[in-house]
Structure 1
Amino acid sequence: MQPSAGPALPHTRTRSVHWITTAAALGAIVAAGALVQPADASSGGAKAPAAPVAAPDPRAVSYPLDCAGAPVDVLNHVSGDLDGDGRPETVVVVRCRADTGTPPSGVFVLAAPATAGGPATIVETLVRPADERSVTGFRLQGRMVRATVLGYSSDTTPRCCPDLKRDYSWEWRDGRYVALPGPANNSI
């Protein structure tokens, strides 16, 4: 190696301040690249729909009710994004139309169609019509569905006059709807 031709110049020596400055500049470039992404980039989670999706129409669904030829009545419905996927669901209370008595109600969760123009689908049953219950006080509170469920203490209780009452809430947890029953009342 040849000896240098003169004294070392101050700008040719590297110091820790040079390395720190270089590292900070590279860090800023990487951070800026992470913040500036294409509009269609996602963080790996559920994608929000490209266009707003309408809530499912509760009158355009066939319900699993045996109405013996009578039409199905939609008594009440609420819509909202209950599972946090960016698409609204509709929760609906339905029963068979009857001139007398109180036919049992069903409570169903409807999901928007997978393709535009397709039918909405029932994705969950919260209250089965086969359980012979009636539903009142039906509402949406935040992302929680709430209702009062009326029932019968025995098979001899007239179906016009439920004598049991319990408040319920349903919420989306761990990929499914979970029923959260309130305290049981002995009678109405």
Structure 2
Amino acid sequence: MQPSAGPALPHTRARSVHWISTAALLGAVIGAAALVQPADASPHASQATPRPAPDPKAATYPLDCAGAPVDVVSRVSADLDQDGRPETVVVVHCPVQAGTPPTGVFVLTAGAAPGSAPRIVATLVDPAEQRSITGFGIQGRTIRATVLGYSSDTTPRCCPDQKRAYTWQWRAGRYYATPGALANSV
């Protein structure tokens, strides 16, 4: 190593004040770069804009209500299959003046094209089964309902005489029903 050709220059020695000022300047540059974003960027640019849940009043149901509109009795929405889009679970039946109309429970998803009607992706309770629904809701990603039914064809349709709690969960590409114990009197 060769000795330097002259006296040590004062500006070539690194002192703590030099390191602190360099770190502060570097921090300011990194902070400014983090704040500068494209005009169309959002604070959560990596997250997709949440989509609204399907509107059950815009869907078409497999119920023949003799020209009357289908009554939407109850609805709940959640992302049940964890695809980032909410589904709407809906309880519907035909309007009646007396008795207990057959009820259907359907899972809706958004239509294929923007602005198109929601579509049914699953039937949890088919109206043809002549059932009624109470205690309907979602807990986490589990759909829960109490299904009321009839022990025979001679049981008056006003008065269901059987009751069973059900849960439905999305697994392996479909909704699986888990029935509870059958209660023989409502």
- For this structure pair, what is the TM-score category when the shorter chain's length is used for normalisation? 0.7 to 0.9
Structure 2 SS opposite 1:130: helix
Matched, 1:64 2:49: no
Q: Cα deviation per residue 1:20-44 (whole Å; 9 max; x = unaligned)?
A: xxxxxxxxxxxxxxxxxxxxxxxxx
Deviation at 1:49, TM superposition (A): 7.7
Deviation at 1:59, TM superposition (A): 0.5
Q: Any residues of structure 2 matched to 1:114-129 within 5 Å, and which?
A: 114-129=112-127
Amino acid at match of 1:110: L
Q: Any residues of structure 2 matched to 1:1-188 within 5 Å, and which?
A: 50-188=48-186
Deviation at 1:113, TM superposition (A): 2.1
Deviation at 1:101, TM superposition (A): 0.9
Counterparts of 2:166 and 2:87 in 1: how far apart (Å)?
19
Structure 2 SS opposite 1:77: strand
Amino acid at match of 1:102: T
Contact 1:107 1:126 in 2 (8 A): yes
TM-score (norm 2): 0.73
Amino acid at match of 2:104: G
Percent sequence identity over aligned pairs: 67
RMSD of equivalent CA atoms: 1.3
Contact 1:61 1:121 in 2 (8 A): yes
Counterparts of 2:149 and 2:98 in 1: how far apart (Å)?
17
Contact 1:53 1:87 in 2 (8 A): yes
Deviation at 1:51, TM superposition (A): 2.1
Q: Which residue of 1 aligns with 2:43?
A: none
- What are structure 1's unaligned runs of at least 5 residues? 1-47
Q: How many residues align?
A: 141
Deviation at 1:115, TM superposition (A): 2.4
Counterparts of 2:167 and 2:86 in 1: how far apart (Å)?
18
Deviation at 1:117, TM superposition (A): 1.0
Counterparts of 1:72 and 1:117 in 2: how far apart (Å)?
21
Counterparts of 2:47 and 2:102 in 1: how far apart (Å)?
36
Deviation at 1:57, TM superposition (A): 0.2
Structure 1 SS opposite 2:158: coil
Counterparts of 2:178 and 2:47 in 1: how far apart (Å)?
30
Q: Which runs of 4+ in 1 moved over 6 A?
A: none
Contact 1:49 1:86 in 2 (8 A): no
Counterparts of 2:69 and 2:156 in 1: how far apart (Å)?
23
Amino acid at match of 1:111: T
TM-score (norm 1): 0.73
